[in-house]
């Protein structure tokens, strides 16, 4: 029987209220990613020991938590403590695909308009663009060497029908946001270096850029520290309870008393930290492989040579890009188990899809494979705001697999709210996410959704014999 949290404002043992198997939450080591292997590891952030007082405590040292902490310390002069169960960037922020692009929600533009009107949709779009600028600004202002390629992203149609939908979407984006999208017909893919199996055309948008995600996370952590933020690693918050005018956060070796607290745990959230978040998030796996560097001849042999970050139109999305050193990153959604035994099956599926889409590279050795959690919410939109009914508690989460930029600016917005400043959070992000129906069955829903999506997406091209 799993222990339950009785007082809705108190939480114990968050580790037992997580949705997946334990290996996914093993913060004693880094995931075996190319990012960790390609970057010298900084001195680890020490665990919190003893008692500390702070104006603000942030739980989670990913892009959201670190941006919030930096903004609170620099912009609002606050005294901030950040606690992470692992090290800064240990979560999705240090292991993602590095697409700094438009994102944050799983809703279509039409659904966003239905929820918050055309003005609300434009506000959210403006947030998405400003989020990309936020990351670009941080990198250049602080000399963080994370940028890895040119501006823009390419969405590749996996069927003629998907190409038609891309064309309709481009028209809708022009009408609603005044944004240009360049459509690339199937016949022009080869000359644009976009050849892959089952590619039926594409759409180019002149926004976003690729980054080394861990270089950004660790660079940001360094800037936050230099600004006075106290950053503690290997410090899982195992209890959160109201005390006096604020909150007490307990870790295995210490505790913090803070007036205000930001929950920035996203796909690694516990269902009882705080209990309000329980059942409102659905962590979902995303898995990545990285090849060894491809030679120019190998790149030409496949015909996929564009340096622009790319993804496809499938519900079960694939995303891919060349790194500056010639390595190729290929990632995809899917997988509903984090058990050690499931990791090999997930990796095999990623390799198989990679080989089907890029047959000329099917035999190229893979150097690294890893996975992590993205975070969906019950309302398919992100949330930044106060936790209802819990004075001084705030949350920022639910970036729907595209949080590099949105989590960064989401953290800044959370900082503004915590500091009590007028902060224009887009209406879409102010609505507290709904709970998923029958939360204990969330992985079952996910399995069913994947099955339906798989049917809608159709089979990938067959592997060459
Ligand atoms: C494989 C993969 C590929 C992706 N690719 C892209 C991409 O190309 N582009 C894009 O935009 N997005 C991508 N994403 C999503 C993106 O990485 C996330 O949306 C973003 O990093 C979320 O940042 P965050 O700060 O909200 O959460 P995270 O970076 O996940 O940080 C949450 C932190 O909370 C900590 N934590 C949890 N519980 C506790 C506790 N009780 N006490 C203390 N600490 C705790 C965790 O240790 C973790 O470090 C990808 C994600 C994955 C997994």
Output the pLDDT for position 340.
86
Q: Is the CB of residue 416 below 6 angstroms from any atom belonging to ligand 1?
A: no
Q: Which atom of ligand 1 is nearest to the CA of 103?
A: 11
- Helix or strand run (H / E) with residue 205: strand 201-205
Between 2-6, 37-41, 70-74, 341-345, the lowest mean confidence (pLDDT) is in 2-6
Output the pLDDT for position 336.
87
Q: Which atom of ligand 1 is nearest to the CA of 65?
A: 25
Out of 93, 209, 237, 335, mutate this one to test ligand 1's pocket (max ligand atoms within 8 Å of CB): namely 93
With H, G, I as helix, E, B as strand and everything else as coil, classify residue 299. helix
Rounded to whole angstroms, how far apart are CA atoms 170 and 174?
6
Output the pLDDT for position 451.
93
What is the residue whose two structure tokens read 């989590």? 407
- Helix or strand run (H / E) with residue 204: strand 201-205
The alpha carbon of 307 and the centre of ligand 1 are apart by a number of angstroms equal to 25
Q: Is the CB of residue 277 below 6 angstroms from any atom belonging to ligand 1?
A: no
Output the pLDDT for position 6.
41
Q: Is the CB of residue 135 below 6 angstroms from any atom belonging to ligand 1?
A: no
Out of 374, 396, 400, 433, mutate this one to test ligand 1's pocket (max ligand atoms within 8 Å of CB): namely 374
- Helix or strand run (H / E) with residue 154: strand 153-156
pLDDT bin (cut points 50, 70, 90) of residue 297 is very high
Ligand 1, atom 52: nearest CA belongs to which residue? 96
Q: Is the CB of residue 208 below 6 angstroms from any atom belonging to ligand 1?
A: no
pLDDT digits (tens, 9 = 90+) for 205-264: 999 999 999 999 999 999 999 999 999 999 999 999 999 999 999 999 999 999 999 999
With H, G, I as helix, E, B as strand and everything else as coil, classify residue 323. coil
Output the pLDDT for position 294.
98
pLDDT bin (cut points 50, 70, 90) of residue 116 is very high
165 preceded by a cis bond (ω within 30 of 0): no
The domain segmentation of the chain, as residue ranges, is: 11-97+213-281+378-437
pTM confidence score: 0.96
In this prediction, residues 115-136 reach a mean pLDDT of: 98
Output the pLDDT for position 305.
98
Q: Is the pLDDT of residue 99 over 90?
A: yes
Output the pLDDT for position 8.
35
Rounded to whole angstroms, how far apart are CA atoms 460 and 152?
26
Tokens for 459?
């089979």
Please give the angle made by the CA atoms of 224, 410 and 77, to the nearest 5 degrees.
40
CA proximity to 374, closest of 446, 434, 448, 286: 286
Output the pLDDT for position 185.
97
Rounded to whole angstroms, how far apart are CA atoms 260 and 262?
7
Ligand 1, atom 33: nearest CA belongs to which residue? 60
Rounded to whole angstroms, how far apart are CA atoms 267 and 91?
8
pLDDT digits (tens, 9 = 90+) for 217-234: 999 999 999 999 999 999
pLDDT digits (tens, 9 = 90+) for 18-57: 899 999 999 999 999 999 999 999 999 999 999 999 999 9
The alpha carbon of 373 and the centre of ligand 1 are apart by a number of angstroms equal to 7
pLDDT above 70 covers a percentage of the chain that reads 96
Out of 62, 320, 411, mutate this one to test ligand 1's pocket (max ligand atoms within 8 Å of CB): namely 62
pLDDT digits (tens, 9 = 90+) for 182-192: 999 999 999 99
Q: Do residues 144 and 215 touch, judged by C-beta distance below 8 A?
A: yes
Out of 91, 224, 263, mutate this one to test ligand 1's pocket (max ligand atoms within 8 Å of CB): namely 91
Q: Is the pLDDT of residue 327 over 90?
A: yes
Output the pLDDT for position 17.
80
Count, residues in the chain: 465
Buried b / exposed e across 23-52, counting CB within 10 Å, b at 16+?
A: ebbebeebbebbbbebbeeeeebebbeeeb
Q: Is the CB of residue 237 below 6 angstroms from any atom belonging to ligand 1?
A: yes
Q: Is the CB of residue 73 below 6 angstroms from any atom belonging to ligand 1?
A: no
pLDDT digits (tens, 9 = 90+) for 375-386: 999 999 999 999
Per CATH, the architecture of 11-97+213-281+378-437 is what?
Answer: 3-Layer(bba) Sandwich (3.50)
Rounded to whole angstroms, how far apart are CA atoms 283 and 266?
8
The alpha carbon of 192 and the centre of ligand 1 are apart by a number of angstroms equal to 33
pLDDT bin (cut points 50, 70, 90) of residue 2 is very low
Rounded to whole angstroms, how far apart are CA atoms 447 and 333?
12
DSSP state of 419: T
Q: Is the pLDDT of residue 16 over 70?
A: no
pLDDT digits (tens, 9 = 90+) for 398-450: 999 999 999 999 999 999 999 999 999 999 999 999 999 999 999 999 999 99
Output the pLDDT for position 14.
46
Output the pLDDT for position 129.
98
Q: Is the pLDDT of residue 77 over 60?
A: yes
CA dist 215 to 36, 39, 178, 218, 431, Å?
9, 7, 34, 5, 32
Q: Is the CB of residue 85 below 6 angstroms from any atom belonging to ligand 1?
A: yes
Q: Who wins on pLDDT, 163 or 7?
A: 163
Q: Is the CB of residue 61 below 6 angstroms from any atom belonging to ligand 1?
A: yes
Phi-psi region of 443 (alpha: psi -120 to 50; beta: other; left: phi over 0): alpha
């Amino acid at each position: 029987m799993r222990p339950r949290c009785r007082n809705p404002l108190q939480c114990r043992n968050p580790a037992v209220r997580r949705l997946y198997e334990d290996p996914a939450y093993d913060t004693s080591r880094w995931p075996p990613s190319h990012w960790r292997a390609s970057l010298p590891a900084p001195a680890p952030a020490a665990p919190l020991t003893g008692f500390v007082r702070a104006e603000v405590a942030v739980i989670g040292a990913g892009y959201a938590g670190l941006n919030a902490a930096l903004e609170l310390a620099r912009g609002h002069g606050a005294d901030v403590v950040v606690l992470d169960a692992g090290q800064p960037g240990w979560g999705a922020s240090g292991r993602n695909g590095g697409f700094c692009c438009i994102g944050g929600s799983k809703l279509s533009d039409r659904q966003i308009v239905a929820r918050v009107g055309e003005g609300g949709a434009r506000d959210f779009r403006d947030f998405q663009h400003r989020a990309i600028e936020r990351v670009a600004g941080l990198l250049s202002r602080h000399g963080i060497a994370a940028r890895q390629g040119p501006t823009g992203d390419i969405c590749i149609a996996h069927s003629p029908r998907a190409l038609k939908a891309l064309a309709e979407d481009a028209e809708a984006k022009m009408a609603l946001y005044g944004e240009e999208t360049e459509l690339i017909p199937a016949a022009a893919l080869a000359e644009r270096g976009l050849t892959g199996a089952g590619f039926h055309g594409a759409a180019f948008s002149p926004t976003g850029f690729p980054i080394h995600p861990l270089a950004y996370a660790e660079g940001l952590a360094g800037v936050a520290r230099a600004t006075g933020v106290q950053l503690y690693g290997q410090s899982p918050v195992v209890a959160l309870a109201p005390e006096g005018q604020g909150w007490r956060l307990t870790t295995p070796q210490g505790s913090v008393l803070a007036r205000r607290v930001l929950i920035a745990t996203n796909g690694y959230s516990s269902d009882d930290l705080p209990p309000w978040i329980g059942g409102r998030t659905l962590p979902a796996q995303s898995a990545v492989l990285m090849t060894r560097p491809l030679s120019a001849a190998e790149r030409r042999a496949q015909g996929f040579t564009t340096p622009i970050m790319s993804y496809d139109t499938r519900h079960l999305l694939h995303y891919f890009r060349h790194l500056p050193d010639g390595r190729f990153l290929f990632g995809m959604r899917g997988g509903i188990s984090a058990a050690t035994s499931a990791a090999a099956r997930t990796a095999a599926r990623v390799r198989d899809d990679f080989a089907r889409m890029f047959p000329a590279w099917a035999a190229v050795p893979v150097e690294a494979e890893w996975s992590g959690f993205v975070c969906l919410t019950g309302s398919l939109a992100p949330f930044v705001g106060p936790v209802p009914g819990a004075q001084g508690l705030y949350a920022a989460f639910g970036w729907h697999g595209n949080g590099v930029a949105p989590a960064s600016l989401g953290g800044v917005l959370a900082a503004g709210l915590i500091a009590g400043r007028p902060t224009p959070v887009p209406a879409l992000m102010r609505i507290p996410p709904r709970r998923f129906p029958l939360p204990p069955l969330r992985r079952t829903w996910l399995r069913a959704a994947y099955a339906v999506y798989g049917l809608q997406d159709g089979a990938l091209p067959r592997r060459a014999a």
